[in-house]
Structure 1
Amino acid sequence: MYLGIETSSAVSSVALMDTTKLVGELTVQAGLTHSEQLVPHIELLMQQSGVAKSDIEGIAVSIGPGSFTGLRIGLGTAKALAYAWQVPLLGVMTMDVLAHNFWQWEGLIAVMIDAQKKNVYEGLYRWEDNQMRCVQEPTVKVRTDALTTLGELKEPVTVVGDGIIKVAATVSDFGTNLTVGPTTMRIPRASSLLLAALPRFLRQEPDEALTVAPYYIRRSEAEVVWDAKHPELAAQMKGQEPTVVVTEAAPALSDEVPHA
């Protein structure tokens, strides 16, 4: 049994899956913070599914790009549980998660995650040879430029992710080949996270828990502002690990999750 944790956006999603079926999933967009709802959701899902902590063989967690705060909370929780339960931890790109909503989908899948200031993180995927393949690695683009380029392609393109929420109604204006994914499929879900992670779990290729870190692509706004206010210190720290990358473990949560 595997636990999936997805907190890269405003969506909080947790799921339980074994090698043959989805056992349970709880996905909520209620406006609450992940710090308020993540652990209670894990506890509720395990109770309702009749799953004990001793049943968990591995944990998969979304690592971004996405919300800086959400990723820290999700990854901190996943690390704490993996340590407490002594199970493997696996980090999965948020774009891979969104793409796996579209199992056996025809056409190009364009994943766009909000990068603020009219920019998006864009990754392109295609279902080929019975698996989801990434055909363009995540990169930062101006949203209108990305949509214009996609609209010039000679094939159907399905656009998903919170990066197109503000322009969803006008996406087809950039090209008649562009459509927005269905409402339930345009958000990252923990079940799709586990679909992406399962092959690696079965190959016994988990990440080293201490080395799993959020994948931000670019630095946070807070760091940019800090550097502008402290140019000399910023120059000295150039090349060092970003301060926003999680290195500390979250408080142990094992006692808050049902025991066998």
Structure 2
Amino acid sequence: MKHTQTFEGSTDLGADGSTGADSSRLVGSDRVLAVLKELARYPDGVGLEELTRVIGSPKPTVHRALGALRRAGLADQDARGRYVLGDEFLRMAFAHHEARPEHVRIRPALEALAHRFGETSRYAVLDGREVVYRAKVDPPTGAVRLTSTVGGRNPAHTTGVGKLLLAQQLDTLADVEAWIGSTPLVRRTPRTLCTAAALHGELRITRERGYGLDDQENETGVNCLSLPVYATSPTIPSGALSISALAYRTPLETLVGALDEIRAVLGPLSEPHR
């Protein structure tokens, strides 16, 4: 699938630094970032011709962007002449990821839960209308391929972690309506909650019970139980831990029934300290 990167209202810079007439093109810095993001979609490398088609900019401008990235060590060319992310980019990304205190502290719990249930465990934080996955551990065998990856995003209202964290912020129906605004909630599956009233009701229940559920609302056939994580503050969740499972193999009832065990594995990180 092609992913054309466009930035509304931007213009492309010509070789002399002037701007062209096509307002849908990318300016220099936007173009470089668009090329960098696109390279991440091709772990086996991508040729200049294909990258040019996907980005939607002229070949010389994409080539200049690649040159800038290569000089910075953020892109490289393999033996076949295809472009890949550079070692410096990977070094920075992994160094930054490993240095996050909540990631370091939550990792042992994720590993223990993945082994215990034979399902995928994850840690995510809320970012506006989406959740961002900071850590993920797959079980030794039988892992299901989920849409989430470390650094990936999903709509907050479709996920157990997202609804759990939203429940801490959106108390009233008016709060939910203001959060939704003029952009409709995306429907990921037939079970996705897509109205303010439905989401408000779910958030109220989530606050009362203290954990979040995703009943095949983000991916058909996959459910999830989520608990808050207090890794950086004694009173405000830094994010949420989740166990995502194949519904036929590990039903929600099984996860809810093991709630005390999951909390015990998470330990002090699972409870606020007032």
TM-score w.r.t. the length of structure 1 is: 0.26
Report the structure number with the largest CA radius of gyration. Answer: 2
Question: More strand per residue: 1 or 2?
Answer: 1
